[in-house]
Amino acid sequence: MIAYLVLILATGAERIVEMVISTRHARWAFARGGVEYGQRHFPWMVALHTGLLVGALAEVFLLDRPFLPWLGWPMLVVVLLCQAGRYWVIWALGPQWNTRVIVVPGLGRVERGPYRYRWLPHPNYLIVVIEGIALPLVHTAWITAIVFTVLNAILLVRFRIPTEDRALRALTA
């Protein structure tokens, strides 16, 4: 269980690093006339992603979830691959990457890295979905995996993806 605590704390620390990068990129975007979309749903996203980490730890420790090697090790590999994918996305988008939806007028759509594949318009969200299942299942926190997946699907489908699509249409208009 201690190793899982370390994994969750490391994931939380990595999310803080992402927020630092995101804040730097937001300043860059706003200095170039960037326009933010979807401010109202952003706090819900932060709460949901924080809840994933807290929920996974709470479920493992309070419900005494076991580590099942046949499940835990493959899920850990998936989590690590998701991290690699996340940084591939951040690299591909460069200063246009952000945890918020900010577009800079005059900049075109990024078409490198995972964004060169038109059949997958939002690769970052696919990574988030996979990680939201895998991270809790590293230590059999299946309730957290289900709850996060359902709430994340609602947030993505009803709010985040339509907001991002609207912003991208404004970018290319």
pLDDT of 173:
64
Q: Give all strands (DSSP E) within 68-164, no chain letters.
A: 101-103
Of residues 168, 36, 46, 40, the one with CA closest to residue 101: 36
Which stretches of the chain drop beneath a pLDDT of 70? Answer: 173
CA angle 56, 61, 62 (to 5 degrees): 100
pLDDT of 141:
98
pTM, two decimals, is 0.93
CATH number at residue 155: 1.20.120.1630
**Total domains, the chain:** 1
- DSSP labels, 151-165: HHHHHIIIIIHHHHH
pLDDT of 35:
94
Which positions ≥6 away from 36 have C-beta within 8 Å?
26, 100, 101, 102
Residue-range definition of the domain harbouring residue 87: 2-172
- Rg (alpha carbons) of the chain, rounded to whole number: 17
pLDDT of 171:
73
Of residues 37, 137, 41, 121, the one with CA closest to residue 82: 137
CA–CA distance, 110 with 107 (Å, rounded to integer)? 9
pLDDT of 128:
97
CA–CA distance, 109 with 10 (Å, rounded to integer)? 32
CA–CA distance, 100 with 28 (Å, rounded to integer)? 13
